[in-house]
Structure 1
Amino acid sequence: MRTMKLGSSTLEVPVVAVGCMRLSALSLKEAEAYLGTALDQGANFFDHADIYGQGRSEELFAEALHMNPAVRERLIVQSKCGIREGMFDFSKEHILNAVDGSLKRLKTDYLDVLLLHRPDALVEPEEVAEAFDLLEQSGKVRWFGVSNQKPMQIELLRKFVKQPLIANQLQLSITNATMISQGINVNMENHSAVDRDGSVLDYCRLADITIQPWSPFQYGFFEGVFIGNPRFQDLNQTLDRIAAAHQVNSTTIAIAWLLRHPARMQPIIGTMNIGRLIDCVKAADVHLSREEWYEIYRGAGNILP
């Protein structure tokens, strides 16, 4: 698969990442087949979180791959921490304990990337910095980033954290594209002009932070997928027509739409269906024209001023 640099790091990663949130729902045999297919497709970047399947997703991942040093060398493993039951926690103690837990479940000595999962209102950035220093010095984490954070939250961390923050995982899809729409509708008196995230898209481009779109097929907040959904008839007709022109299907085009953006994003795909996984990976070889990109954007009901 086509690759890219992740943020300002030296990590060369596939442009499509495999999300493991739903991995715990698979049997061991199913997980072996799914992960084996991903690797065969060149999709060797795997995104985890300590809370996925209450830790079972990380455990099953290691079991299904029969984790050993030779296998580990083929993988790029990212995990996230900071979500606890009823709260968020970026304390030094929690970050360190969470990483140790992930390493144990993943049967590895290190994470390639660690992300802070959701903003903690009680964050003390000095503690985060101390935790990151210890993790880097011990070799347990090689690179760091955030998830679901806006620019000033990242800037607050950067004031204290010496390591570069190389990724920001954010919800983004054709139907959940407010971070794009607000940049198009500048100075307009409409709903799409509302800045909900501090211009995080432009900020991440300026700061060399890779945006990792999560739920790239979802509308709303886990309300459902837009592909094949009669609620999005115009969008699906547009996707189907453009997919036919590129001799792929609409799933591939939905990911290609994200990859076409010059911010050089790395979508996180969460499907556990092997066929759809392959369709998503195909997007790395599809280049949409400017006309096609805007047709899809408008097909989702997004407006142009």
Structure 2
Amino acid sequence: MRRDMVIRDDCLNALKKMEGESIDMAYLDPPFFTQKEQHLKDSDGREYTFSDRWESRESYLRFMRLRLEEIKRVLKKNGSIFLHCDDSASHYLRLIMDEVFGENHFRSEIIWTYKRWSNSRKGLIPGHQTIFYYTKTANFKFNTIYNAYSPTTNIDQILQERVRDTYGKASYKYDDEGNVVLAREKKGVPMSDVWEIPFLNPKAKERTGYPTQKPVELLERIIRISTDPGDCVLDPFCGSGTTLVAAKLLGRNYVGIDSNPSAVRLCGQRLECPAKTESRLLKVGIDSYKTKTEEELALLNTLGCDV
């Protein structure tokens, strides 16, 4: 199978032409069943649109099931799939994933959380999206990623070995000369299933103006934990091409599919010169942002905060 390619087609048609067990990892950011027309303009005035309207929930779920079954077929036995969704139909999609891939092959419900400071709607402000992580079999590839320790962590305690006395109480371990025995070097804290990554701000260099575009940093994490350099990553709803850009930056092969011609053109342009924005998280007290001026809010956006 040819790799490092972007296919313009309905992904169901394209997937049926792919050989079985040829893909190491699949990520899909499909329509969410929002029942809306998605549209956005870039800085040059080009407008990107696609429809997320459906005759019924049943037609949407049938659409998704057929494509998930084909993705399972093309995944290698040690392959993984990551399904991105929001609260529009996530509970239904989880059931379909259980049926197609098996409940015992569910690995994690990844929560992508971000700041959204808006009081335009009544109720709790949406501040996260969900990524369901499944594998094809129990023998799957996984690479642990370690995060830095919190500034409040007592590193000295972490780096010292402990033993338990006859009562089961832990204490520091000492050598024959009375010196504390150091533990093996620690790599950090293994990454959890809650990821705080800012939404793309309006001035981010990787921003394309495509609706539903996700940050490269988000896709890099997914690719790192589930693949090795040289593996092949599939995105059957590749949109603006973020998954493909992340794969290329990390030395992976990729196959992207989208039926929207403007999306396919945009993918090609981004892959010619892949870019990534280095995000910076800014913590702001709940009372402080209420009094921000428009200029200050714009600054928050440039620092990686979605306002």
Q: TM-score, normalised by structure 2?
A: 0.31
- Bigger radius of gyration: 2
Of Structure 1 and Structure 2, the greater helix share is in: 1
Of Structure 1 and Structure 2, the greater strand share is in: 2
Q: Which has the higher contact order (CA 8 A, sep 6+)?
A: 2
Q: TM-score, normalised by structure 1?
A: 0.31
